[in-house]
Chains A and B, each alone.
Chain A
Amino acid sequence: MTVDPSMTQISAPAPADVHVSLRKVVRTFVLPSGLPLHALGPIDLDIGRGEFFAVVGPSGCGKSTLIDVLSGLSPPTGGDVLFEGKPVHGVPDGVGVVFQEDASFPWLNVRDNVAFGLRRAGVDGAEVKRRVDYAVGFVGLNDFSAAYPAQLSGGMRQRVCIARTLVLQPRLILLDEPFGALDQQTRLLMGDELLRLWRETSATVLLITHALDEAAMLSDCIGVMSSRPGRFIDFVRTGWARDRDNRVVSTPHFGEITARLWDKLRTESMKIMGVQSPSSPGPR
């Protein structure tokens, strides 16, 4: 499938039960020099309830800005964000975010890190214990539950953050390159665990990643973003069964998906390299 080059904005086929919507969302920043920076949009996007949606795009295309806007951390400059039909102003209830950077609390051990959100939400002690036990086991940190983040590897700390988000049972989970600090084998295993969790909770997941194979293996639908200002230039429906696992990587269809993603991204990534290369002639 090719994209009509005259189209500036492509919409994903609207899902039956829309959970999250972006309507003409634009985000601009004012640089310290006073000049505006158009980071994102316009974006129109509908993500269905319970859908696993991945976003891939060249570096600096506004993927993290997309998470900030979706989670209500930073309001869009223009357009509307809707979560469960209601406009997003500030962080809504039921949204969990795993950030790209290590966000574990260094003064709390693994258990207390995972329990932090539950305690803030006033969940009673026995229930906190039950859910923390499950979440710590889920990310494979049972043997480290009394350890402090400084004693853990970067990948383990990121798993603490994943457990800390999952334990709150959010209805929308936003993941900003959560496996970036993990080695390839752990990535694959965590990917499977994420799929297992997604099946069990029926949460809607939006995963930002730069790994095309990760996006192709995990998602129902993949949105490909352009270089800045980030907009969607393609949507790929994978058609995987809900009970998929990492074995899909050996199917021919997986190869087709990644080939198509790469085909779209190559042009965008080259644009970025061309712009950033000091030897390239500037725009006239």
Chain B
Amino acid sequence: MTSAGWIRTAVVVAFVGVVELLCRTGLIPNTVLIPPSEMARELVSILEGGEMTGDIAATFRNAVLATVIAVAIGFAVGIVIQAMPALRRSVEPLLASYYSVPTFIFYPVFIVLFGVGDRAIIAIAVLLAVVAMITATLNGIDRIPPVLKKTARIYRMSRVRTALLVELPAAAPYLFTGVKLSVAYAFIGVIASEFILSGSGLGYEIAYAYNNFENRKMYALMLLVLLSVALINSVLDVIDNRLQSRLRR
């Protein structure tokens, strides 16, 4: 590990240690925050008990579905916009300001459209994630060096082969940035939607525990979300670093 990596780890460990100490000494009352070690212990017992397995599976399934849909739609829309310069010029400012809109305000619309349940949750998550993928696709296509397309023509490659064997791999590092963002947005979208329009999932269970004064359970589930997201992100980072390291500088 690099020295920056060690320091980063030390910061996290120190932070957890300080919180643990503050909770144990009673400076932070247990009604506000429970010690991290207690969260971990409770999480283990929840996982062993299996009472949350269905919720965990529901959240992950919805997040994965939302990511796949957002990436597919975002990629396709990106290609279409890129192919029409006039459309692109008019749409690009809208895409750039898209994330200033709090997408969740539209949740009643989705309830009307899809009812309360998975479909509305996935729709909100897709809406949140898709624009990141569109933007990444536009950027990726822009970054394909023209000389590589010329090379494909010298090899007398067909349009489809050029797209699959030259343009797609050339744009891949930029497209993957879009995938990474889509995963993050999909998780935010799914868990946040579960608070308001679901009867299952991690978001719902956290809200339920909160409403029932089940502090230990609530914090254990929060810890679960944090750990899951950290794990997913580090896997994506490994792939991302591999792709980025191949880029010319």
Contact = CB atoms under 8 A, between A and B. Distances in A.
B246 A97 contact: no
A103 B248 contact: no
Given A107-B172, A120-B157, A120-B161, A102 B248 contact: yes
Contacts of B157: 120
A106 B170 contact: yes
**Most chain A beta-carbon neighbours within 10 Å: one of B147, B161, B169:** B147
Interface residues of B toward A: which range? 20 to 34
Interface stretch (A51-59, A88-96, A228-236): A88-96
Contact of B150 (A93, A95, A96, A99): A99
User: Which of A93, A95, A120, A149 is most buried by chain B, counting CB atoms within 10 A of its CB?
Assistant: A120
B156 interface: yes
A105 B147 CA distance: 10
Nearest to A119: B165
B153 A150 contact: no
B147 A103 contact: yes
A150 B248 contact: yes
B154 A150 contact: no
A242 B234 CA distance: 60
Q: Which of A97, A101, A103, A150 has the most CB of B within 10 A?
A: A103
Given A101-B147, A107-B169, A120-B161, A91 B154 contact: yes
A144 interface: no
A150 B145 CA distance: 15
Contacts of B247: 106, 150
A116 B154 contact: no
A91 B249 contact: no
B155 A120 contact: yes
Interface in A33-68: none
Nearest to A120: B155
Contact of A149 (B154, B161, B248): B248
A117 interface: yes
A105 B150 contact: no
Interface string B115-158: 00000000000000000000000000000010110110111110
A214 B103 CA distance: 63
A71 B161 contact: no
B45 to A, nearest CB: 46
Contacts of B166: 105
Most buried by A among B147, B150, B154, B172: B154
A123 interface: no
Given A103-B147, A150-B247, A150-B248, A97 B154 contact: yes
A90 B155 CA distance: 11
B154 A106 contact: no
Nearest to B169: A107
20 contacts: A71-B154, A73-B153, A90-B156, A95-B154, A97-B151, A97-B154, A99-B147, A101-B145, A102-B248, A103-B145, A103-B148, A105-B148, A105-B166, A105-B169, A105-B170, A107-B169, A107-B172, A120-B161, A150-B246, A150-B248
Interface of A: 71, 73, 90-91, 93, 95-97, 99, 101-103, 105-107, 116-117, 120, 148-150
